[in-house]
Every structure is written in structure tokens, then in C-alpha cells.
């Protein structure tokens, strides 16, 4: 069962627009309809298979800049197993642990994961794209045709892709950290001596690195640096390249400020490098004491931001704090300058 974009879901007989799913981008009928009472769906997922579903909604709902997707499993319509959000018209999405809506439009917490594990199986979301009302090109190259769209305009459309694999185990030694810090990964349940690929954020991109599972239990233990990633949950995956087994865990990415050079005199210039802020958000930088705004930077899609700052003329000698504040996420990163 699914829920997307804050205004479309698959639960029939409610006050919200229905979300229709199809296996073919040129379909004329959804797999869960076309009547409102058929909006709810149940899709069996088989181990070892991948699935791509095309989503159709109504054009009225897409005045938003961002869109969210919740997927519900095993008949549980109140607690989402997978919760992500992303900017319209892109294939980039992030796990969402903030408030979201259940199928009956009740506020609940998001899962903060792009995977769901149960009964020895892991289902991972490998792609999610939701578009604004527009003419093609797009994932779904047709106007809304399951039922008439209001005013006859083209519908919103998108797709989601799922991969269903046998589960292995992956544990992280740290619950949170900023990009560049050391994290420990421990995996087990893989084939002995098989190569295991480690991914940060999404499967389908280049792996961060590979490791060899050792001994009869097919386990490994490795320490690495946390990759660049925006603020919030980051899913980490370990995929056995022979067995197809998948281990998954979630790390909370937190911000940090790195100052270079880390020492200077009043009136001198240093550079602040922000890590782990929200993707594309505005970041204000402040001097600690006396508190004053040093400047503003815009974070990249990976949450990095760079700004040249001037040490205030009234900065006291010794260690002084510098803070970066994300205006969208309210995330705070701390750095320091030794004032001569």
C-alpha cells in the first residue's frame, strides 16, 4: 500500500485524491482500480525479484516543491515501513523520520528508512521519482487516463522501484556522526569468502568500497570514514555479490564546521567548511562571543557549504567558537578558531 506527495493515497472512500499504480507507463487501467473502492492495493513481493511501479495522481496536488513516499507492509496501514522524501522531478530521495501521514490521513512518525526487513527478507527502495503536472518527457509519458483529471490537464506522475533480497545482518558501531568521522561496520550471514559491496545512501550508485566476508559465518568487521551526505538519516547497505544477501542499517548524519587555518588574528581571513547540513539549504555562520553574523552560504546536494569569514576585530584571544545554523533543518555545526 502506498502514499505519496501529501495529497494522494491508495485508501479508497476518503477525502484525499487517490493514487493509482500501474506496471506499464502506457497503461490505461491501474492495478488497483479504477473505482475509488479499489484504491487500496496488496502487492505480493517475491525474493530475488525487482519491481517498478508507475504512479498516477491528480494535477491539483503538486504545488509542493518536495514530495514524500510512504510504503506500508504486511497489512499495516498505520505504520509506514519505508518513508522517504525528495524534490519533485528528481531521482534523489532521503529517508524521512519526521511527521508524515498514514493511509487514513493520521499524523504519524516516518520510519526514517528506505528499506524494510521482515521474515528473513529485505525490501529496499532503489528509485523514487515524482513529477509535477506537465507534458512528457517523464517516467509516465501520457496524460492521466484512468479517470478524468480535473479540467482535463495532464496528471502528476512518477515511479518507484523495489528490490527484494534475502536478508543478512549489518550493524553500525556508531549511531550518529558527521561526514569524515570513523564508523565501524559489522556484517554477518553472508557466504564465506564472498565479496560484499558497501553502499551509502542508495543501492545502484557506485559502492563506497568492497570487503571480503571471512570464516564459516560469512562475517566481516571494518572501519571506514563516513561519506559525504546531507543532514538526517543515511541508510547503509552491505550486498553480497554472490549470495545476493542484503544487510541494512541507518546512521544519523550530523553537521560539523571545519575551519582552515584554525588559527588567526583579528581582521584576518579563514575558511569555514560546513559538512552534513541539509541538501540545498541556507546556512548562517555566527561568531561565538560576542555573537555576530559572519555570512551566509548555500549547501550543496551533499550538504556541504564553504564560506570565507573574517575574524571580528573585537574577538578575544584564545579559542573562539564558530557556529553554522541550517535555516531549513535547524541543524547546528560547531567549529573553532584560535585567535592570536
3-class DSSP string for 81-100: CEEEEEECCCCCCEECCCEE
Q: Where are the domains of the chain?
A: 2-165, 168-253, 256-339
- Strands in 8-9's sheet, in edge-to-edge order, are 17-18, 8-9, 2-4, 66-71, 82-87, 94-95
Q: Decide whether 168-253 matches 256-339 in CATH topology.
A: yes
* Helix (H), strand (E) at residue 11: none
pTM of the model: 0.85
Closest to 2 measured CA to CA, from 130, 90, 92: 130
pLDDT in tens, the chain (340 residues): 666 666 677 776 666 666 778 887 766 677 876 666 777 777 788 999 999 888 776 544 445 667 888 999 988 888 899 999 887 777 778 899 888 888 777 889 999 999 999 999 999 999 988 775 544 434 443 444 444 444 544 456 778 899 999 999 999 999 999 999 999 999 999 999 999 999 998 887 899 999 999 878 899 999 999 999 999 999 999 999 999 999 999 999 999 999 999 999 999 999 999 999 999 999 999 999 888 999 999 999 899 999 999 999 999 999 999 999 999 999 999 999 999 9
Measure the CA–CA gap between 336 and 52, rounded to whole angstroms.
48
* Homologous superfamily in CATH for domain 168-253: Macroglobulin (MG2) domain (2.60.40.1930)
Instruction: Report the Cα–Cα distance between both ends of the chain, in Å, rounded.
Output: 61
According to DSSP, the residues that pair with 12 across neighbouring strands are: none
Measure the CA–CA gap between 46 and 116, rounded to whole angstroms.
14
- What fold characterizes domain 256-339? Immunoglobulin-like (2.60.40)
Cell of 252: 544519523
What does each C-alpha distance from 288 to 157, 194, 260, 324, 328 come to in angstroms? 47, 51, 17, 10, 21
Q: Is the separation of the CB atoms in 142 and 25 below 8 Å? A: yes
A 10 A CB-CB count for 282 gives 15
Query: How much is the pLDDT for 195?
Result: 96
Measure the CA–CA gap between 166 and 178, rounded to whole angstroms.
30
DSSP labels, 18-83: E-EEESSTT-SS-TT-SSGGG--------TT-EEEEEEE--GGGTT-SEEEEEE--TT-SSS-SEE
Amino acid at each position: 500500500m502506498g502514499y505519496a506527495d501529501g495529497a494522494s493515497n491508495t485508501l479508497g472512500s476518503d477525502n484525499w485524491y487517490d493514487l493509482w499504480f500501474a506496471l506499464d507507463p502506457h497503461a490505461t487501467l491501474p492495478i488497483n482500480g479504477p473505482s475509488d473502492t479499489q484504491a487500496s492495493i496488496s502487492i505480493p513481493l517475491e525474493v530475488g525479484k525487482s519491481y517498478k511501479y508507475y504512479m498516477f495522481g491528480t494535477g491539483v496536488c503538486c504545488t509542493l516543491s518536495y514530495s514524500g513516499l510512504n510504503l506500508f507492509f504486511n497489512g499495516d496501514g498505520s505504520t509506514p515501513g519505508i518513508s522517504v522524501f525528495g524534490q519533485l522531478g528528481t531521482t534523489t530521495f532521503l529517508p524521512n523520520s519526521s511527521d508524515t501521514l498514514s493511509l487514513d490521513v493520521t499524523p504519524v512518525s516516518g520510519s526514517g528508512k528506505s528499506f524494510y526487513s521482515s521474515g528473513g527478507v529485505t525490501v529496499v527502495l532503489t528509485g523514487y521519482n515524482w513529477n509535477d503536472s506537465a507534458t512528457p518527457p517523464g517516467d509516465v509519458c501520457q496524460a492521466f487516463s484512468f479517470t478524468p483529471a480535473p479540467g482535463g490537464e495532464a496528471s502528476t506522475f512518477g515511479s518507484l522501484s523495489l528490490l527484494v533480497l534475502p536478508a543478512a545482518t549489518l550493524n553500525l558501531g556508531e549511531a550518529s556522526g558527521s561526514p569524515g568521522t570513523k564508523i565501524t561496520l559489522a556484517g554477518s550471514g553472508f557466504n564465506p569468502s564472498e565479496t560484499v559491496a558497501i553502499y551509502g545512501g542508495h543501492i545502484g550508485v557506485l559502492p563506497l568500497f568492497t570487503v571480503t566476508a571471512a570464516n564459516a559465518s560469512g562475517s566481516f568487521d571494518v572501519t571506514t570514514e563516513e561519506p559525504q551526505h546531507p543532514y538526517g538519516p543515511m541508510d547503509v547497505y552491505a550486498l553480497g555479490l554472490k549470495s545476493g544477501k542484503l544487510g541494512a542499517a541507518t546512521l544519523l548524519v550530523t553537521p560539523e564546521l571545519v575551519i582552515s587555518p584554525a588559527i588567526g588574528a583579528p581582521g584576518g581571513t579563514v575558511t569555514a567548511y560546513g559538512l552534513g547540513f541539509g541538501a540545498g539549504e541556507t546556512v548562517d555562520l555566527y561568531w561565538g562571543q560576542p555573537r555576530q553574523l559572519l555570512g551566509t552560504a548555500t549547501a550543496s546536494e551533499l550538504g556541504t557549504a564553504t564560506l570565507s569569514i573574517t575574524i571580528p576585530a573585537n574577538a578575544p584571544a584564545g579559542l573562539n567558537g564558530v557556529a553554522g545554523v541550517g535555516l531549513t533543518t535547524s541543524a547546528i555545526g560547531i567549529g573553532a578558531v584560535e585567535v592570536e
